[in-house]
Structure 1
Amino acid sequence: MQERVIVGIDVGTTKVCVLVGELDRDGKLNIVGVGTCPSQGLRRGVVVNIEETVTSIAAAIDRAERLSGKHITTAYVGIAGSHIESENSKGFVAITPSHRDIVQNDICRAIEVARAIAIPANREIIHVIPRGYVVDGQEGIKNPIGMSGFRLEVETHIVTGSVSSIHNLIKCVQKAHVEIEDLVLEPLASGEAVLADGETDLGVVLVDVGGGTTDIAIYTDGAIWHTVVLPIGGNLITSDIAIGLRLPFAVAEELKVTYGHCDPSAIDDDDMIDLAQFMPDCNDLVPRKLLAEIIQARVEELFEMVHDEIKKSGYDGLLPAGLVLTGGTAELPGILELAGQILDLPARIGVPLGLHGLADSICRPAYATAVGLLLWGLTHSSLTYDEEEGQQADRGTMLSRIGRWLRSFIP
């Protein structure tokens, strides 16, 4: 009896993370392989050096394969970067013959109308996500199949990206000898891992603060409403520390991770950091409160930018489920309280839950995107576990990527 294997590859600015998951007959997702490697060749989520990026991806894949004992040939891959843009679009079609039951083909036609937006030649559609349907003026319909009507309307969330950035990422993964099952916008993947249905129904903002970017996704009425990727992340905090304390970047990063805090008032005035533990030839002492002041200033700036994006979405003051903060930088002490204060929202840290196998090692915000890629694969793949045969059953071998994707949203 074979178990279904799904692989997620999170190609981040600071690290590449590869997760290998198995879905058993009981529906449990077991993490059987984890491979991480420092990321080289990316800047703010975008590939700037193909060979370095390929080397990083290949190293992470090799570690995951050694741990899991699986040979990785396909994967779901996360994409982010400041080139990402999104907008909401509507499409409607007439039901012919009039007033017959709505079928899957009607939904596909409406979605195709919605995706027919004018975009520049240097941009490409990554996702077209149905948010909800309207049948003859009746709103709030999640699944219109089987309903009778004359007119079907769909509201979609469309995510686009730079053609060159998308293709460079694809090229890097393929050069590491892995074919891409699907490209997934990273905040959507993170949302799969850390958000509850009740939160997305009420209205929630997910903020994934990585090394090079901050990914924002606003959900309401159970669906995505607004996505954006800001070109600022944990690396800029590290840069400020390096400049302010005149330290090498690598030492500044270790200082941030080991002693960083976002609230200077929580640090004693006489609490000093001995730099000799990071640089043996240096005998200087650094006040930990000064380090916290530098971090606080940059984190405040970051969440002011997040606040501006929430205002642009039109949902400022309309997110009762509050803020879910995730990503590697979310592990900084004091960041949750500062973020909640600036955004004036209830806040919690988002960690991936409900996993098995090697789950203990990845139940951290830094792994939210990678775990979300596995969950996205479970939800949106054309493969399903066939209990009678005890093996994988392919329900859509000849379907295109777009066709497979549409099936995942339509029963």
Structure 2
Amino acid sequence: MAESTIVRVSPHEIIFSLDIGTKSVVGIIGKKEEDKFYIIDFEIMEYSSRAMYDGQIHDIDKVANVARKVKENLENRLGFKLTQVAIAAAGRALKTCRVQVSREIDSTKEIDQTMINSLEMEGIQKAQEMLDEEMNSTDTKYYCVGYTVVNYYLNNSIITSLKGHKGDRIDADILATFLPHIVVDSLYTVMNKIGLEVMHLTLEPIAAIHVSIPPKLRLLNLALIDIGAGTSDIAITQDGTIVSYAMASVAGDEITEAIAKEFLLDFDTAEKLKIELNKKDSHTFEDIVGISYTMTTEEIIEKIADVIENLASEIAKKVIQYNGKSPSAVFCIGGGSQIPTLTNYLATKLGLRQERVVVRGTEIIENVEFECNELKGPEFITPIGIGIISVKDGEDNFIRICVNENTIQLFHAKKLFVSDALIKAGFNAKKLIARRGKNLNITVNGEKKIIKGGIGEPAKIYLNGKLSSLDAQINNKDEIIVETAVDGLDACLSLNEFIKDINSVNFNGLDISLINKLLVNGKEVSMEYQIKDGDSITFVKINTVEELLNRFNMHYQDYCVYVNGSEVGKDFVLSHKDEIVTSKRKQTLAIEKKDKEISKSNQKNHTIEVFVNEERIQIQKKERQLIFVDIFDYFDFDRTKVKGILVLKLNGERANYTDKIKDGDKIEIYWGK
């Protein structure tokens, strides 16, 4: 209890903060004037019996009764009623969950920040689901108040950063921290019972960091450790914000129990002795059988050194686990931090110099003045911080965001981003990244080939009407609209399209495939056949000019052949998309002229009659079987000026150049779309 308040204040000036601890309730009355925070009065009261465990209120009435007495004692000295309060949820109430998430990705595309954010978001959602199962309750709500990525993986190998790389698969190990909403609800219930309106809510580690680590230092990788009675709460800063939280389930009570066992003391006597270790050099006490001891602090510490070292080791392990490495420095607060030699052991376990692990007391809080008895020691950092941060923030730690026209509440314990809102809204992270359509895996002449599916369209995120991203920071009353990603189409290709794509040329204005004896899974199929996953395609490739001419029953000695504008020989090797033009040689034209003259004198039974585009055409019979391509010697159709897709039909069916024709056949030739 503070001395009688000398300075008189009015109700609208003061800030009333309550720290609901595991063993006691601390109430502080302060006021803000310019850049200073004045502490006018305070009240500390312990519970008569245990009412809280690990930061969670178990007996609401007991906690409410003690909090009410603290409030009333302060009101009596102030001379007016207190109606509003700033409070904090205990860091030891936080729940943590470690998960690994993986995703198959398009190996042709660079990994960007959106893909990484989406993967992390999926991990947090997975952690939340695991936490729900672990707690065996679908009613308990959790807020993600921080997370850290322990490791990234690319194609199953650890990598420092995924951004800019390419691969088939990405993974992430994520440690996510959640605050059970029941903790917040029970705090509000206690405040309602004693007639107080909560004007500000924060987390205890945030309040402690706010006053013990100035903003200019938060860009560094620092750890704040609040060593209480039952647990040690850890908060880690980097890049100006709190990046993760952790809790070690060991703390000051371990030391109390070690003292009790070593010297045969009851718990309360051992606790008093522990507290005195940091204040006196010599101690006199009596065990439960009446034996009296007088020992120095050094002698007592030596007896329980193993327990102190183990406590430091457990805390250090948690720090490294959640930070991925040792931080640059460590600040210790809380009553348990005052145990002699503890910070030395912590420094050793973390591989830091002794001076980089320090205990922070209220004397380091900047711009704070006491107008009552001064609260000294690391155990009062958090209660003061709760009051100061409530003035600094100036608003409740819950903000409201509209996601796709649905309003959600977020716990504003850290910088919040679009991804945080989508997680709280239950938005499926997989719908943010477009998946490439399914590939077709086939074999072509014994070699494996992949026909890739479509790429798709990524999700579009709008923040207050403007195109944004997952890592955009959000504020109270922001509106987010998400248009989900559109997956790419599955690979779909006909045999005809595939053949043209892998090996085709333009022959006298027509697209011609350079293959023969085409089989799918050992069988002949239509060119319209839709290729299926696992198909085996075989064919004989046309390589040279002579082989191509032979396919159309054309003899090289009868033609001049030009490939891409240059005349070539019969052994010239053709390439995909070559342009080929033929013209008859002079001697060939002379022979054909003579043949035509002879044909005129021949009887009519040496010809066949067909209908081309409903026009009657007579074709001279030859020693060989007439084929479709022979039509072009008798029917005037300019194939050099491409006007679309050339359509060839024989008796109503699609035709190929080598299809046989006979008397009376009906033929259609035209440019299609």
User: Given the two structures, how large is their TM-score scaled by the length of structure 2?
Assistant: 0.44
What's the offset of the Cα at 1:339?
Answer: 2.4
More displaced stretch, 69-78 vs 301-310: 69-78
Larger Rg: 2
Distance 2:221 2:344 in 1: 20
2:147·2:244 contact (CA, 8 Å) conserved in 1?
A: no
- Give how far 1:196 is off: 1.9
Q: What displacement does 1:158 show?
A: 7.2
Residue 308 (structure 1) shift: 1.5
**Matched positions, count:** 338
Instruction: Measure how far apart 1:331 and its partner are.
Output: 2.6
Q: Following the alignment from structure 1 to structure 2, what is the Cα–Cα distance between the partners of residues 123 and 305? A: 29
Answer yes or no: is the 8 Å Cα contact 1:182–1:401 preserved in 2: no
Q: Which residue of structure 2 lines up, in the alignment, with residue 195 of structure 1?
A: 213
* Cα deviations by residue, 1:293-333 (Å, 9 ceiling, x for unpaired): 3543333222212221222224413x22x011111222333
d(CA) in 2 for partners of 1:404 and 1:306?
27
Matched residue of 1:361: which SS? coil
**d(CA) in 2 for partners of 1:67, 1:126:** 38
The alignment status of 1:5 with 2:14, answered yes or no, reads yes
Distance between the aligned counterparts of 1:49 and 1:356, measured in 2?
35
Distance across 1 between alignment mates of 2:411 and 2:273: 48
Please say if residues 194 and 350 of structure 1, whose CA atoms lie closer than 8 Å, have aligned partners that are also in contact. Answer: yes
Match of 2:442 in 1: none
1: CA distance, partners of 2:411 / 2:268? 45
Query: Residues 149-183 of structure 1: CA distance to partner in whole angstroms, max 9, x if unpaired?
Result: xxxxxxxx975233444433332332232232343
Q: CA, structure 1 residues 31+372, in 2 after alignment: closer, same or farther (shift >3 Å)?
A: same
Change (3 A) 1:176 1:296: farther
Amino acid at match of 1:310: V
Give the share of equivalent positions with the same residue, in percent: 18
Alignment of 1:93-104 (within 5 A): none
Distance 1:87 1:201, change over 3 A: farther
- Provide the C-alpha distance between the structure 2 equivalents of 1:314 and 1:403, rounded to a whole number of angstroms: 23
Q: Distance in 1 between matches of 2:74 and 2:474?
A: 30
Distance 1:260 1:298, change over 3 A: farther
Which residue of structure 1 lines up, in the alignment, with residue 249 of structure 2? 231
> Following the alignment from structure 1 to structure 2, what is the Cα–Cα distance between the partners of residues 2 and 127?
36
**Could you say which residue in structure 1 is the equivalent of 2:453?**
none
Equivalent residue runs for 1:277-316 within 5 Å: 282-285=290-293, 287-288=295-296, 289=298, 291-316=300-325
Indicate the residue corresponding to 2:57 in structure 1. Answer: 47
Secondary structure at the residue paired with 1:235? helix
Q: Residue 374 of structure 1 aligns with which residue?
A: 387
The 3 A distance-change label for structure 1 pair 75 and 297 is farther
Over residues 221-255 of structure 1, what are the superposed CA-to-partner deviations in whole Å (9 max), with x where a residue is unaligned? 11111102333322232122223322121111111
Task: Tell me by how many angstroms 1:201 deviates.
Answer: 0.8
- Aligned equivalents of 1:76, 1:220: Cα separation in 2: 26
| Separation of aligned partners in 1, 2:411 and 2:276 | 47
SS at match of 1:202: coil
Mapped partners of 2:324, 2:373: distance in 1: 35
* 1:365 is aligned to 2:365: no
Paired residues for 1:15-26 under 5 Å: 15-24=24-33, 26=34
Matched, 1:348 2:366: no
Question: Residues 79 and 311 (structure 1 numbering): CA distance in 2 closer, same or farther, change over 3 Å?
Answer: same
Q: Give the secondary structure class of the aligned counterpart of 2:27.
A: strand
1:298 aligned counterpart, secondary structure: helix
How far, CA to CA, are the matches of 2:340 and 2:311 in structure 1? 16
- The answer to whether structure 1 residue 84 and structure 2 residue 94 are counterparts is yes
Counterpart of 1:36 (choices 23, 31, 44) is 44
C-alpha RMSD over aligned residues: 3.9
SS for the counterpart of 1:316 is: coil
Q: Structure 1 residues 2 and 15, CA, compared in 2 at 3 Å: closer, same or farther?
A: closer
**Does the 8 A contact of 2:55 with 2:90 survive in 1?**
yes
SS at 1:8's partner residue?
strand
Q: For residue 77 of structure 1, report the CA deviation from its aligned partner.
A: 1.6
Residues 52-61 or 368-377, more deviating: 52-61
Structure 2 alignment gaps of length 5 or more: 1-9, 100-117, 133-137, 149-174, 401-406, 417-472, 477-673
Q: Contact conserved, 2:284 with 2:292, CA < 8 A, in 1? A: yes
CA contact (8 A) 1:3 1:22 kept: no
Structure 1 stretches lacking a partner, 5+ long: 90-109, 132-156, 384-395
Query: Shift of the alpha carbon at 1:126?
Result: 4.6
Q: Distance in 1 between matches of 2:266 and 2:195?
A: 35
Amino acid at match of 1:323: V
User: Is 1:170 the counterpart of 2:188 in the alignment?
Assistant: yes
Q: CA deviation at 1:62?
A: 2.5
* Cα distance change, pair 59–32 in 1 and its aligned pair in 2 (3 A): same
Which letter does structure 2 place at the counterpart of 1:375?
Answer: I
Tell whether the 8 Å contact from 1:214 to 1:231 is kept in structure 2 after alignment.
yes
Q: CA offset at residue 379 of structure 1?
A: 2.3
Q: Which moved more, 1:158-167 or 1:210-219?
A: 158-167
